[in-house]
Structure 1
Amino acid sequence: MAAIGVGGSRGRYNRGGSIANDAAKYATMVAVCDVDDLHTEEFSQKHGGNLNKYRDYREMLEKEKPDVVTIGTPDHWHVPIAIACLQSGADVYCEKPLTLTIDEGKQIRKVVEETGRVFQVGTQQRSSGDLFQKAIAMVQSGYVGDNVNAYIAIGGAPGDGPFETTEAPDDLDWNLWVGPAAKADYCEERRKYFRWFFEYSGGKMTDWGAHHIDIAQWALAPGENGPTTIKGTGEFPKTVPADFNWNSFFNGEASLPNGYNTATSFNIELTFDSGSKMVVTNHYKREAENIDFPNGILFEGDKGRIFVNRGKLTGAPVDNLTEEDNAKLDAKIAELRKGKAAMSHMANFFACIEDGGQPISDVWSHHRTMTSCHLCNIALMLGRELKWDPKAERFVDDEQANGLMSRKSREGFSAETHAAS
């Protein structure tokens, strides 16, 4: 196997090294690829010092022909690299969030279907049986009643900037790091904290939304259902003009100052045809009911409510579970796991390679999750209510919004050209 994008002592917001180290428990690591030579050397030393080292993933795929690849690059590189890996014949574990745009999700879904390779996204909350799987099982089994809504807090992004630019380190290929995004001068904040730049990511909406919106949507709308109405408000950093033309930004015709530009605060409501809704906010409060949390999901129906995050699953419906209830929930959880036993997220990926099954975080479910995340950001950018057709995967009679479903790639760096090169 091989690892692409492994982070290291000069990195920050990516888990490439940790997921690659985890994967190496199940397969033999032979090669590492990173645009930062320091990171490839550090990673190689952790694996005996004899790994073949590359800067360009295309060269690595051509020479090594790995059976399995982990991808832990910054977000804007996920889909182009994943497509190349899949088309080379590799099974892929890709860190979240998978996509930069809605159309990227359609594109990677199509390639997974065409190649038939195993593809797991690193939303590890899906493999948490005692917390998130149990919460989903309780919601889907009626333990909080009908008319269930989800209230989701994911934190807000910082709003600092503008920042000074400097020369890139000699052993970092900055042009390749920027890749399909618009050309930009080097600054440490762009590299370390890329999640807060729309050029490379989607802020907290795609960072933590990829986790919590995923769990909430799995519970509320299993299958292919998606939201139909999206509305809300939010704030962007001072570096973003109030009348900024986001369509021009997505088309590569406009740029922003060299500072963080993703939403710092927000409150977005997504409504499904069923009447259920998800409320996505940076911090959820209901002072009259003493509800206040910065991170987590509150499921509320006409019988009660439960709260779940990475530390706990609480609420009266949880406290009142009987042995018989827990047995029923265990059966439901087994169904959510697609028949597989409880295991780590990485173990699930390799089990699917062995038996040909679909992983617990497959491309179809994650594309639907990321669509909802992107819909939230688009609603913030346009500052108005949006109508979405989840079957057609288009905005309804709204060409301005439809224009924000894709982005123009820098010449020579589109997913198609890089996969085919």
Structure 2
Amino acid sequence: MKNNRRLFLKKLGATTGAAALTPSVFANESIQKEFLGRKGEMRSDQPIRLALIGAGIMGTEDTNTALRHDNVSLVAVCDLYDGRLESAKQKWGDHLFLTKDHKEILKRSDVDAVIIGTPDSWHKQISIDALKAGKHVYCEKPMVHSVKEGAEVIEAWKNSGKIMMVGSQGLSSLGNEKAKELLAEGAIGDIVYAEGFWARMSPEGAWQYNVPEDGNEQTVDWKRYISNTTDREWDPMRFFRWRNYLDYGTGMSGDLFVHLFSSLHFITNSRGPSKVSSMGGLRYWKDGREVPDVLLGMFDYPESPEHPGFNLSLRCNFVDGTSGTTYLRIVGTKGSMDVKWEEVVLKLNSNAESDDPFMKEQAKLRTASGEEDRAKILPPRETVYAAERSWKGAHYDHFGNWFRAIRTGGTVVEDPVFGFRAAAPALLCNDSYFQDRFIQWDPVNMKLI
């Protein structure tokens, strides 16, 4: 028996991509824990010179993360507010070329790739302009401001020969990758239902961003900002708190649901839902915003070659005591997985057959020898897969994926086709809410029905 166990452990250690199981796995406990790690990074002597277009909160976070990688430098920054341009120079150096016109960035021969961290209303045009100018593109999610814009970006990308990555960084997380592996192995059986939840409590998390005292028409290029949407008089709220307004942002679903769609589609290989519905309301943030602060979405995923038919429920609110808790739960015929970027909790139904190959083999041996089946130590019913402390995070790895593809001519985990298939149901969730109706979507051909 001991030799059989030793052989099993040896095989397990040779095949798993995670660290060894803790000793408690064979104890009479209900939970086991496994640590997830990442292999070493690919190093390259090929430099990548970046420009940032949109130096707000996420653009700054993206740039700081990108610059943690070897042989990556920042050469230029574009923003419509003087204060952000000055701040960029203080953070990243006096050498930067600074401008309020993104086309000046794209003319520069010393720019290899751009990070687009603008309001959603500018994602499509700047992405297309950058691709046509021969630049690689990292565009924050959602990839587009409306469903009708998706085909244009995809076409520009395919014609460019450049690498475009959409910025739902959770796709490069250890948690999502482990969940994908577990689902493919049949750990929870066939998927039947999924649900996602996202909550934020702080004012800034609910888009109550700071409005600087010097934010005015002299320091902001307001005319350029609104040039592709409704003409309005200067309004600092619409510039500095743009996510609250439909002309520039995409609401809770475009900001947060899109992460959950991205993770779900990555784990299941799904192309998306065929039916979309939502409801919600403006319950707390009575600050003039045009979008709800509580949103519920329901989605029907048809049977496809990639997966059985299942239903998805998403929830989001901006007044919640969980202080930002987020998760995606995938439920199957044998159990469920709670998926976070840094952790997966696998829970098996009490009547589910164990997938432990050692336990299965021992049962066969007992049956063959005619032994009477007797009481035994049951395998764990819950397994926690957690990222090692040394992991640098999903955001870091997402940029690593982009840089690797640029240097090798490879592919990325979230190209424009994937990015649009995640953005479309999020944007249609808004349409369902404001139009008060079900919306039919063709996830294969990426078209409204």
Contact 1:155 1:204 in 2 (8 A): no
- Structure 2: how far apart are the matches of 1:220 and 1:133? 11
Question: Equivalent residue of 1:28, what SS?
Answer: strand
Question: Does the aligned pair in 1 maintain the 2:176–2:266 contact within 8 Å?
Answer: no
Paired with 2:448 and 2:167, the residues of 1 have a C-alpha distance of 28
Counterpart Cα distance in 1 of 2:343 and 2:191: 23
CA apart distance, 1:363? 1.1
Selected match of 2:187 from 143, 148, 152: 143
TM-superposition CA deviations, 1:258-316 (whole Å, max 9, x none): 92111222322111221212111226xxxxxxxxx952111111111111224532232
One-letter code aligned to 1:94: C
Of 291, 304, 316, which aligns to 1:282?
Answer: 316
Offset of residue 207 of structure 1: 0.8
1:177 aligned partner, one-letter code = Y
Which residue matches 1:248? Answer: none
Q: How much is the aligned-residue C-alpha RMSD, in angstroms? A: 3.2
Q: Tell me the distance in 2 between the aligned counterparts of 1:259 and 1:271.
A: 33
**Cα–Cα, structure 1 residues 100 and 359, in superposed 2: closer, same or farther, change >3 Å?**
same
Query: Distance in 2 between the 1:100 and 1:265 partners?
Result: 20
When Rg is computed on C-alpha atoms for both structures, the one with the higher figure is 2
Change (3 A) 1:183 1:366: same
Q: Could you tell me how far 1:375 is from its partner in structure 2?
A: 1.7
Match of 1:300 in 2: 331
Residue 432 of structure 2 corresponds to 379
Provide, for residues 50-96 of structure 1, a one-character-per-residue CA deviation record: whole Å limited to 9, x for no partner. Answer: 11111101122224462111111122111111111110001111122
Hey, what's the Cα distance between the residues in 2 that align with 1:41 and 1:107?
A: 34
What is residue 53 of structure 1 aligned with on the other side? 98
Match status 1:127 vs 2:127: no
Counterpart residue number, 1:196: 244
2:126 matched residue in structure 1: 81
For residue 363 of structure 1, the aligned residue among 416, 419, 424 is 416
1:215 counterpart = 2:215: no
Q: Secondary structure at the match of 1:149?
A: strand
Work out which of the residue numbers 227, 230, 255 in structure 1 matches 2:273.
227
Contact 2:65–2:396 under 8 Å retained in 1: no
State the alpha-carbon separation in 2 of the partners of residues 111 and 65 from structure 1. 22
Map 1:266-281 → 2, pairs under 5 A: 266-274=295-303, 275-281=309-315
Which of the numbers 62, 65, 70 marks the counterpart of 2:115? Answer: 70
Distance 1:45 1:159, change over 3 A: closer
State how far apart, in whole Å, the 2-side matches of 1:6 and 1:112 are. Answer: 20
Alignment pair present for 1:390 and 2:419: no
Secondary structure of 2:422 counterpart:
helix
| Contact kept? 2:59, 2:116, Cα under 8 Å | yes
Distance change in 2, residues 1:134/1:190 (3 Å): same
Match of 2:21 in 1: none
The aligned counterpart of 2:37 is none
Residue 290 of structure 1 is matched in structure 2 by none
Matched position secondary structure for 1:199: coil
2:153 to 100, 103, 108: 108
In the alignment, what sits opposite 1:178? Answer: 226
Matched to 2:301, the amino acid is F
CA distance, structure 1, for counterparts of residue 295 and residue 87 of structure 2: 39
1:15 partner SS: helix
Counterpart CA distance in 2 for 1:44 and 1:263 is 36
Evaluate the alpha carbon distance shift between residue 353 and residue 394 of structure 1 in structure 2; reply closer, same or farther with a 3 A threshold: closer
Q: TM-score, structure 1 length as denominator?
A: 0.73
Deviation per residue, 1:88-116 (Å, 9 max, x gap): 00111112221101121211111000111
Instruction: Give 1 or 2: higher strand fraction.
Output: 2
C-alpha distance in structure 1 between counterparts of 2:358 and 2:160, whole Å: 43
Determine helix, strand or coil for the equivalent of 1:98: coil
Distance 1:297 1:57 in 2: 37
* 8 Å contact from structure 1 (residues 148, 276) kept in 2: yes
Structure 1 match to 2:62? 19
One-letter identity of the residue aligned with 1:16: G
Q: Which secondary structure state, in structure 2, belongs to the residue aligned with residue 315 of structure 1?
A: strand
- Counterpart among 285, 294, 297 of residue 265 in structure 1: 294
Structure 2 stretches of 5 or more lacking a match?
Answer: 1-48, 304-308, 318-323, 360-394
8 A contact 2:190–2:333 mirrored in 1: yes
| SS of corresponding position for 1:110 | helix
Alpha-carbon contact 1:220-1:276 (below 8 Å) kept: no
Letter of the 2:336 counterpart: R
Identity of aligned residues (%): 25
Query: Which residue of the partner structure matches residue 329 of structure 1?
Result: none
Change (3 A) 1:139 1:61: same
Structure 1: 5+ residue runs without aligned partners? 241-257, 284-292, 326-341, 397-421
DSSP 3-state at the match of 2:182:
helix
Q: CA deviation at 1:395?
A: 3.0
Following the alignment from structure 1 to structure 2, what is the Cα–Cα distance between the partners of residues 169 and 378? Answer: 32
Distance 1:177 1:133 in 2: 38
Q: 1:205 to 1:105 in 2, by over 3 A?
A: same
SS at match of 1:182: coil
Q: Report the secondary structure of 1:179's partner residue.
A: coil
